[in-house]
Structure 1
Amino acid sequence: MGLDKILAISGKPGLYELTAQTRGGFVAKSLLDGKKIAVNMRHNVSILSEIAIYTYTEEVPLGEVMQKIKEKEDGGEAISHKSSKNELEAYFSEILPDYDEDRVYASDMKKIVQWYNILIENGITDFSKAEKEDKNKDAKNDEEE
């Protein structure tokens, strides 16, 4: 499963897996406790594959950042999201050296590290899936031309 089925819902802790659509929204399963919840259109929902991190030159997709954390940690868990602001900033500097310090806050770093650890705990380790699909589409388009 790629990041395109994983959701962050404002006001709700952790991450959720999109399981089904309903008339007024969708059903999501918590990756923390496995409980299912109904989510309507009033909730502010972010799909992880759509999130990007600011750098001084471009916006880096969250999947790429997670892949860099995975490579640094050899597929294991990252530091705790409860680490100090200085520890988080130092860790993030190792992963993404040119992140925009004015637009990426400590709270963003905490979320990213926490989300990464939740995904690893749930066996979701393929963060590059969306990129592979895009490359496959590009290759098909090149073949058709």
Structure 2
Amino acid sequence: MSVEKVLAISGKPGLYELKIQTRSGFIAESLVDGKKLTVGLRSNVSLLSEISIYTQTGEIKLFEIFGRIANKESNGPAISHKASDAELVAYFAGIVPDYDADRVYVSDIKKVFSWYNMMQKANMVAVFNGPVQTSTVFDEAEVIEEVATEEKPKAKKATKPKAKKEEE
């Protein structure tokens, strides 16, 4: 499974892997329970590979933060997103010391830890250890195109041959 295909869908709990494109959207599979879900084109969907956190000097990719958490926890689970706000902020400040406290809210920090722990349970955190590529340019259209090419081609309907007209 490619981490570039991991999605967060607004209004739906958990994380999802992009599977295939349909006429009206796409099909995603939950990382938590493996259930498949049809998502319409009007749904608000975010690719985790495109999410960044504000810092005092710019932005840092979410996957780089996941790498830092994985290194700190030796690929184990992080602090629970249900911990107290003070504990979450202190833990996050230890991982990203220069995060912009004015633009990064506690709710954002909770999502980071919740998402990391979901990916850790799905055995996807080993990808974040080592050098993290922060310059990955990812286009959602490329994923949809790639998924569309993975679909099996549909069989053509058999047609009856037309009878030739006899010349008089």
Q: TM-score, normalised by structure 2?
A: 0.76
Change (3 A) 1:132 1:42: closer
- Residue deviations 1:75-134 (CA, integer Å, cap 9, x gap): 100010000110000000000000000000000000000000000100112137872884
Pairwise CA distance, 1:24: 1.5
> Do the aligned residues in 2 keep the contact of 1:2 with 1:127 (CA within 8 Å)?
no
What residue is the counterpart of 2:115 in the other structure? 115
Q: Does the alignment pair 1:52 with 2:52? A: yes
What residue is the counterpart of 2:34 in the other structure? 34
Q: Does the alignment pair 1:101 with 2:132? A: no
Identity %: 55
Greater percentage in helix: 1
Deviation larger for 50-59 or 118-127: 118-127
Change (3 A) 1:31 1:76: same
Give the Cα–Cα distance (whole angstroms) in 1 for the partners of residues 134 and 100 of structure 2.
Answer: 26
Give the secondary structure class of the aligned counterpart of 2:99. coil
Change (3 A) 1:132 1:50: closer
Equivalent residues, number: 135
> Do the aligned residues in 2 keep the contact of 1:3 with 1:127 (CA within 8 Å)?
no
Pairwise CA distance, 1:41: 1.0
> Do the aligned residues in 2 keep the contact of 1:16 with 1:30 (CA within 8 Å)?
yes
What residue is the counterpart of 1:131 in the other structure? 133
Give the Cα–Cα distance (whole angstroms) in 1 for the partners of residues 31 and 123 of structure 2.
Answer: 10
Show structure 1 runs of 5+ residues with no match.
135-145
CA-based RMSD of the aligned residues comes to: 1.9
Give the Cα–Cα distance (whole angstroms) in 2 for the partners of residues 92 and 28 of structure 1.
Answer: 29
> Do the aligned residues in 2 keep the contact of 1:49 with 1:63 (CA within 8 Å)?
yes
